[in-house]
Amino acid sequence: MKLHANQLSSHLQNKLAPCYLVSSDEHLLVNEALDQIRGAARTQGFTLRESQVATAGFKWSQLAATGANLSLFAERRIIELRLPTGKPGRDGSAAICEFVEHLGTELLLIVITPKLDKNNSNAKWVKVLSAKGVFLPIWPVGLRELPGWIGDRMRRAGLRPDGDAVNMIADRVEGNLLAADQEIQKLRLMLGEGPVTGEDVSNAVASSRRFDVYKLVDAAVAGDAKRAMKILNGLRGEGVEPVILMWALTRELRTLARLADSVRRNIDLGTAMNKERVWSNRQAMVRACIGRHQYTDLYRFLKATGRADAAAKGQAAGDPWQLGADIVLGLSLGGRRAA
């Protein structure tokens, strides 16, 4: 059975399916859907949860062994299987199908993947999961829909925003739902419930003493490694999702890489920065950053953020904060000094 994300709550009020396939690139929405499924499962006696990540070299016999390893006290268990690429391969497909066909009432299987394209959605293992349980593809929130999504989420948090408040947050996060959610939670803590204006949002941002990812990016671009690392540690200590950090670094590095490539092609940097809409008060630090890096450095950092983002989402091994620290230091110090 295929469900839309807005149908999940009503579905979970009825009988729990034996398996779920949750597919999306939206980290926040996936986590919230998983929390809903886990919560419903707990009310039905699933007290244990085990997680497996099918990265390169994963032994698919582990999945079968997990199903066969019954608890001493016959406790009901949730088995979560993450497929970072969305492609389990021939052996993985066979193992998933076999596992699903022999699911008993003591096990609940949840498979988590990135967004599946049309070909992958028609794979045998997907069809088996859909036939036995629920296929939940979660679509991203488009830029046009983002203000409405933010406004609705603010109201659910007890806030009553005006149009300026919603638009300021939408402009600030540029489509990143995790960042939007954190901005809303910050406003809720700082302002409490009630009306929120654009001025309130501006003042809250200006008066907040929290280190944020925008300050971190600016410190790294400006070459201030000491301040950048201090902010990074502050973000980690405050429980900021590392995915937000990777999103901010990726966005900045894409711009820097395009600018460095323009310089390599003898395009005036000032002209290129105007084309990339680099604010005038950031152009000096951006120019200095381009000057201390080869364009290959920036593309290397950009690839590293991809690996760190995958680690932050549980799709690859590694500590995303350590990987992020390496990127921040490299961007701050320049190629030779970072090495």
At 298, which CATH number?
A: 1.20.272.10
Which of 119, 137, 155 finishes a domain?
137
- Tell whether 88 and 152 lie within a shared domain: no
Which of 95, 113, 137 is where one domain is finished?
A: 137
Give residue-wise pLDDT tens across range 22-48.
999 888 899 999 999 999 999 999 988
- pLDDT at res. 337: 44
Among 183, 207, 231, residue at a domain's last position = 207
199 shares its domain with 288: no
What pLDDT does residue 279 have? 77
Rounded to the nearest integer, the mean pLDDT of the chain is 87
Per-residue pLDDT at 207 exceeds 60: no
The answer on 125 and 169 residing in a single domain is no
| Shared domain check, 132 and 99 | yes
C-alpha 120: how far from chain center: 21
> Measuring CA to CA, which residue among 239, 235, 259, 255 is closest to residue 324?
235
Residues 260 and 316 placed together within one structural domain of the fold = yes
Count: domains in the chain: 3
> What are 270-286's pLDDT values in tens digits?
899 888 888 777 889 99
At 222-261, the pLDDT tens digits run 999 999 998 999 888 878 889 989 999 999 999 999 999 9
Using the predicted structure, report yes or no on whether residue 113 has a pLDDT greater than 80: yes
Domain range for 256: 213-338
> Model confidence at 73, in pLDDT bands (50, 70, 90)?
low
- Local confidence band at 336 (pLDDT 50, 70, 90 cut-offs): very low
- The per-residue pLDDT for 335 is 52
Q: What span, in angstroms and rounded, lies between the C-alpha atoms of 183 and 161? A: 13
- pTM of the full structure: 0.63
Give the start-end residues of each E strand in 45-128. Answer: 46-53, 76-82, 107-113
CB 159 within 8 A of CB 46: no
91, pLDDT greater than 50: yes
Same domain flag for 34 and 68: yes
- Specify whether 28 is located in the same domain as 122: yes
The CATH number assigned to the domain holding 106 equals 3.40.50.300
CATH number, domain of 176, equals: 1.10.8.60
Shared domain check, 156 and 117: no
Taking alpha carbons only, the member of 184, 189, 193, 138 closest to residue 165 is: 184
Residue length of the chain? 339
Q: Which residues contact 274 (CB under 8 A, 6 or more apart)?
A: none
Are 201 and 286 members of one domain? no
Would you tell me how many other CB atoms lie within 10 Å of the CB of residue 226? 9
Phi, psi of 92 (to 5 degrees): -65, -40
How does pLDDT run across 298-334, given as a tens digit for each residue? Answer: 999 999 999 999 999 888 889 999 999 999 999 998 7
Domain match, 23 and 132 both: yes
Residue 208 confidence (pLDDT) above 60: no
Residue 200 and residue 217 in one domain: no
Phi-psi region of 33 (alpha: psi -120 to 50; beta: other; left: phi over 0): alpha
Indicate whether 199 and 128 sit together in one domain: no
